[in-house]
Amino acid sequence: MPAMPAPARRNQFLPFSPPLLGEEEIREVVDTLRSDWITTGPKTKRFEADFAEHLGAPSALALSSCTAGLHTALATLGVGPGDEVITTPLTFTASVNVIEHVGARPVLVDVEPDTLNLSPAAVEAAVSWNTSAILPVHYAGHPVDLDPIADIARRFDLALVEDAAHALPARYKGRLIGSGDNPVSFSFYATKNLTTAEGGMLTGGAAFLERARVLSLHGMSRDAWKRYDKGGSWRYEVLAPGFKYNMTDIQASLGLCQLRKLPAFQARRREVVRLYEAGFGHEPALELPVERPDVEHAWHLYVLRLRPEALRIGRDQFIDELTARNIGTSVHFIPIHLHPYYRDKYRYVPERFPVALRNYERMVSLPLHPRLSDQDVADVIEAVLDVVHAYRR
C-alpha cells in the first residue's frame, strides 16, 4: 500500500536510545587516564563493591559484557556437552549463543502473552533428564515470574541463571533483580539504563563469583593488579582454560558515575512511560506494555504492539512512517528460531512458538531514555497517532 504524504513534524531526527553522559563521567575518565592504572584495577573493584551494595547482592564481578557474564556463569556451573538449557525465543541472540558456546543445547519454550517473558508452565513441560539449567530473560525490564521458575529449578535440581540485560533496577515482589545467590548478568551497553559504553556485571554468591573470577581472566590465580601493584607477586598459576572478559578502570569510571545517577535516570524513564500511557491509553489500535502489580518494571524498553485488525498497514510500514516523521524506533527482537543458524540446526518452523511469533510481527519499540524532553515525548505521541489515524481500517 503506498504511503500517504506525511512531512516530518520535527526538524531533527529523534534517536532511539542515546546515552546520557555528563561532566562527572568525563572527569572520572580523565582521572583514570592520568593515573597509573587504566585496565582492571582499583576503580573496577570499587564499582563492583558499589554495584553489589546498590542491589543488596552478595557479591559482584565486573566484566566486558552481559554476554561474558552469561558465558562465564554457565562455564563456572559446568554446563557443557550433553546438557540442555531452557530459555526464551524472544531475546537477543547473545542469550542463546552462550549456551552453544559451552557446547550445550538451547531448548526454546514460548512466552507469556502479556509480559512476553518465559512461561513457567512451558518451562516445566520442557524439563528432561538432560536439562541442567534455566536461563530466563527479563524482557524489556519487566521481571520474569521468578518464584514458579525458581521452584521448578529446586524440584529438578537445575541451575538458574538470569539474563538481566534489561532489568536494572527492576524488582520482583519487592526484591531487586540480582540480589540473590544465583548468577544474574547485567548489561552496561551504550543503550542500557546504566552504561559503561561496553561492559557488564555478574552478581551471585561470593564463593561462586570467586570461581567465576578465575575463569573470566584466562583462568589465572592472580589478576594483573594483584601482580603488578606494590607488594604484588609476579607468580601466578593457570587453574583452567579461561576467557578474556575483564572490565577496565576506564569503563568502571563511567559506571561509578552512572550508578549514582541511576535513581534520577529511572525517575525520568517512569515519567516518560506515564506520558506515553496518557497519550496512547485510549487508542484501540495500540496495545500498551504491561506492568504486573507485584513487580517494578525497569522500563529499559517501551514496546508498543499494533493491533493488525485495526490498521491497513503492517509493522514494517508503520516504522517507515515514523522514520519519515523523524522518530527513531527499533524492534525487540527477531525471535531466535527465525535466524538461519538456529532455524536450520534445530529445524524450527516459524509457528513453533506462536506467542513469540505473533507478538514479534506487531511490535515497535519507541524512544525511552532520560534525555527525552517533554516536547520529544509529545512529538513521538503525535507521530504515532498520526500514523494510526492515517491508516486506520
Per-residue pLDDT of 222-280, as tens digits, reads: 765 565 566 667 788 889 999 999 999 999 999 999 999 999 999 999 999 999 999 99
Cβ neighbours of residue 43 closer than 8 Å, sequence gap 6 or more: 28, 32, 37, 249, 252, 253, 256
Q: Where are the domains of the chain?
A: 23-259, 262-390
Q: How far apart are CA 61 and CA 201, in angstroms?
A: 6
Q: How far apart are CA 373 and CA 28, in angstroms?
A: 26
pTM of the entire predicted model: 0.95
- The CATH number for 23-259, chosen from 3.40.190.10, 3.30.110.30, 3.20.20.80, 3.40.640.10, is 3.40.640.10
Cβ(301)–Cβ(151) below 8 Å: no
- Paired strand residues for 70: none
* H or E stretch at 302: strand 302-306
Residue 344 CB coordination number (10 Å): 9
pLDDT in tens, the chain (393 residues): 454 555 567 899 999 999 999 999 999 999 999 999 999 999 999 999 999 999 999 999 999 999 999 999 999 999 999 999 999 999 999 999 999 999 999 999 999 999 999 999 999 999 999 999 999 999 999 999 999 999 999 999 999 999 999 999 999 999 999 999 999 999 999 999 999 999 999 999 999 999 999 999 999 887 655 655 666 677 888 899 999 999 999 999 999 999 999 999 999 999 999 999 999 999 999 999 999 999 999 999 999 999 999 999 999 999 999 999 999 999 999 999 999 999 999 999 999 999 999 999 999 999 999 999 999 999 999 999 999 999 999
Q: Among 64, 51, 301, which residue's Cα sits nearest to residue 196?
A: 64
Count, in order, helices (H) and strands (E) of the chain: 13, 14
Give the C-alpha distances (Å, rounded to integers) separating 48 from 43, 71, 194.
Answer: 9, 19, 14
**Domain 262-390, architecture per CATH:** Alpha-Beta Complex (3.90)
Q: Which of 192, 226, 230, 244 is catalytic?
A: 192
Cβ(387)–Cβ(317) below 8 Å: no
Residue 45 is a catalytic residue: no
Sign of the alpha-carbon torsion through 203, 66, 195, 263: negative
Q: Among 6, 5, 12, which residue's Cα sits nearest to residue 367?
A: 12
